[in-house]
Chain A
Amino acid sequence: MRNKFDEQLELLNDDLIEMGSIVEGSINAAITALLEQNIDLAKSVIEGDRDINEKEKDIESKCLRLLLRQQPVAKDLRLVSAALKIITDMERIGDQAQDIAEITIRLQNQKYIKELVHIPEMSKESIKMLKGSIDAFVKKDLDLVVQVIQNDDKVDDLFNIIKAELVEMIVESIDHSEQAIDLLMIAKYLERIGDHSQNIAEWVYFAITGEHYVGPK
């Protein structure tokens, strides 16, 4: 019974995985472009954001069609509404990758004031969170959800380390200040990507349990 509906829910899963991997590719490319000062790659990230926006609209209209035609209840309703929220967060992550790429283009002719060590590490951790949250959605895995949420602390810690370093660089020489602020922005975008991934994980938690995630007391 409801084979057709179950099929459509499966397709929705596939769509979310696909959008997740496009967004993940976009963060990866943005950070690679930054590290290698590869302007073509940075431009491709900016252009690629259109695909992410299209994908969001496509999944959104599929969700609305499911609500309209299948009138889901219980776990089905939670799943479709969680999907609607998740794609909004993924779209925002795409925007932040694009923002990083724009800064990369702005910095194209400058030598970096320091070796970028923590920024790639931050991006690795944020991507891990994004992948984990989508994985948790597909597998309906609560343990994974909690791991993702806890991982956000790591991302926040890295942000604070980067911030402290950049403040030192500015104190050292006022000439560093403009680029330091740009790099701080990049770190902030990555920190936001971590937050959006945490949001996704929290929506997965809701889809599975019917309750909103309340962290450890």
Chain B
Amino acid sequence: MAAPLTADWLQRLRRRAKPESRGRVRIVPRSIYILPTRQGMLLALLLLLMLAGSINYGSNLGHLMTFLLGGLWLVTILHTWRNLLGLSIQPGEAAPVFAGQTADFTLRVLNHDGSSRYGIALGARKRPGGSVDIPADSGSELHIAVKTERRGILPIPEITIQTSFPFGLFRAWSYARLDLSCLVYPKPAARGEPPTLAIYNHSDSGDRGVGADDFIGLRGYRLGDSPRQIDWKAHARERGLMSKQFGGDRSEQVSLDWELLQGYDTEERLSLLCRFILQAEEREQSYSLRMPQEKIPTGSGPRHQQRCLSLLARHGHDDETAG
């Protein structure tokens, strides 16, 4: 128990750049951390070796060259630090994704300074994003890809902005607390049919669904078709194996109900509902969704789908506000 506690304590201790207007975060001097990279340490070690050699052979020019490279090493700290200083990060929208897919956060890094910034990279949750050069007085878009695992609201409590320009000897980074999150829909379950407590509306346009009531036509035999479905007469006429197809009386309105999915746990239910919604949308059916707390009336179209899916995504997350 002690370890996470310490980590939490450290989390609170560490300085972050906080948002100002419109959710934008500006990197101020106090929020920048800087440490030598592995290459930087290697060079420092080498410089010590060079100094030892220069002392040993009493070479003044050796001293001078060692000190020049040492000076370069030190000055690089300032340049790397300066390369990050004063940039601001503007959070953008992340399109909702299904659990298991990769969420793509778009951010804009703005450079208000008169000099260009190079090799600026964003990262979240220890995963590096892309990197860009940002010319003077302009901005560049950067993407952070985060693989999602669970449905719900995927918050990015903080992102890392970092650089090792000019020579890669030091890495300067800063943690920025951004209002950044992505809605993650449940992972759709495998195909299946919703429990039929559907409202049977007569359809004038006929039905192409699968049922057992009316004969609709013939199609080629597929492995697994019941022998009772095979059109033996056609077979006798040497027209090959054909299966008879029957259509059911199918509603164009589906009513999806949480309560009807008994025998599944919460996440399975959400996955099933997600699948049904997608399926209904695919079949151009209208559907309503009834959840324990909320009911969405019948409807269809992308907006309706989005509303239903986000209700699923947020199930149990009601205390949190959406981003």
A binds B: no
Give chain B's interface residues, CB within 8 Å of chain A.
Answer: none
Give chain A's interface residues, CB within 8 Å of chain B.
Answer: none
